[in-house]
Amino acid sequence: MSFQFELADSCAPKGPRLGRFQTPHGAVQTPAFMPVATRGMMRGVSHDRLRPMGTEMILSNAFHLFVRPGVESVQKLGGIHGMTAWDGPILTDSGGFQVFSMSDICKLHEDGVKVENPIRGGWIDWTPKMAFEVQASLRPDVSMVLDHCPAKPSERNEVAPAVERTLRWAKEQRDLHNARGGADSGQALFGIVQGGIFDDLRSECATGLREMDFDGYAIGGVSVGEAHAEMMTAVEASAAHLPENKVRYLMGVGTPIDLVESVARGVDLFDCVFPTRTGRFGTALTHNGRLHLLNAGFREDTNPIEPGCACPSCLSKVPRGAIRAGFQSKEINSSMLVAVHNLFFILQLMQRIRASIAEGSFEELRADIARVYRPRST
């Protein structure tokens, strides 16, 4: 079987889950974090770093790859795996969030969204069928449906039509997937739950998608400006209506506190640019909280980013003071060093989460992360 998701026997019906997601390009131990290679490349981290740091699956964006370099170019490079030089599992996002976040250059219609081509000009009619066919041509292990994702916290009268549209588009793409052979084609298709911060809309969307029997399910439309408590309520309301025997993927979430709290609510898979983007702007994630390395107090600090850390950046022993000076001089190496460290920190956190679930000590780790990385109130 190309795709299979197995939960550990010790997993309770609710709460943190320990699992194994088998794909045509290998297995992923869950809960897991996927580093983001939006256009096939990661910003600030070379791909040869990924596997040694604990990466098992990465994410790319189908819409951005369609715009540049284009589907034909990706195919000539060997598909998404050849282009990324990554032989492990890959998930492609349909680009729904990115398209709808460009509200100034996109026009929604009932059958998709027209978005201005930022490279060549003109308009792209990004429809569910087109999103599906582009991803089928890219050949990832997992593809995502095109959904309607409101780009910011929205009122109910905006979210309800987005849920209806998401379900209608999901059915269209599920039918295309079935006609192609479903998961037996070598590519899985995940549905995406929308509904904003409204529990009943989340329930409606999750239930509708479950009835379509997707290969896995994602929770979308969170981390768009809502408070942490509202996000967790939305995650819980969505997960409660998803099947236990399918992967649950929370899209675009990657802070330490959000990862741990979402795992506590039964989420298996994550992606986010947070660790690398934060690093490129000079903030390091450590076991004692965030370090803002541009602060003057680090000017003559001879310590590595985090003493005792086994990441390539810390093992290189480049001192904090030198990294700070590099940022001030706009040297790319400084941003790369902190991006690598942060990604390593998040991947190691996922390993700690998996170990704590297996050992029965997850609540202790959860409390430790909450103490160091307090959830935002707004």
Q: What phi and psi, each to the nearest 5 degrees, are found at residue 265?
A: -100, 15
Which among 302, 298, 332, 338 is positioned nearest to 319, based on CA atoms? Answer: 302
Of 93, 141, 215, 258, which residue is the catalytic one?
93
Per residue in 274-293, is it b (16+ CB within 10 Å) or e — as a string? bbbbbbbebbbbbeeeebeb
Instruction: Give the CA count within 13 Å in the CB-facing half-sphere of 209.
Output: 39
Is-catalytic flag, 271? yes
305 CB-near residues (< 8 Å, 6+ apart): 284, 286, 291, 293, 311, 313, 314, 320, 323, 337, 338, 341
Strand partners, 32: 269
For residue 126 the two structure tokens come to: 């990004």
User: How far is the C-alpha of 303 from the C-alpha of 288, rounded, in Å?
Assistant: 15
User: Torsion angle of alpha carbons 268, 190, 83, 282, nearest 10°?
Assistant: -40
With vertex at residue 128, the alpha carbon angle to CA 231 and CA 250, rounded to the nearest 5 degrees, is: 25
Contact (Cβ atoms closer than 8 angstroms) between residue 58 and residue 36: yes
Is-catalytic flag, 268? no
252-256 long-range contacts, CB within 8 A, separation 24+: 252/97, 252/220, 252/222, 252/223, 253/222, 253/223, 254/33, 254/346, 255/373, 256/285, 256/346, 256/349, 256/369, 256/372, 256/373
225: number of Cβ within 10 Å = 12
Q: Beta strand pairing status for 19-23 and 4-7?
A: antiparallel
Which among 229, 321, 313, 316 is positioned nearest to 279, based on CA atoms? Answer: 313
Of 141, 215, 268, 271, which residue is the catalytic one?
271
Per residue in 62-81, is it b (16+ CB within 10 Å) or e — as a string? bbbbbbebebeebeeeebbb
Residues classed as catalytic: 93, 271
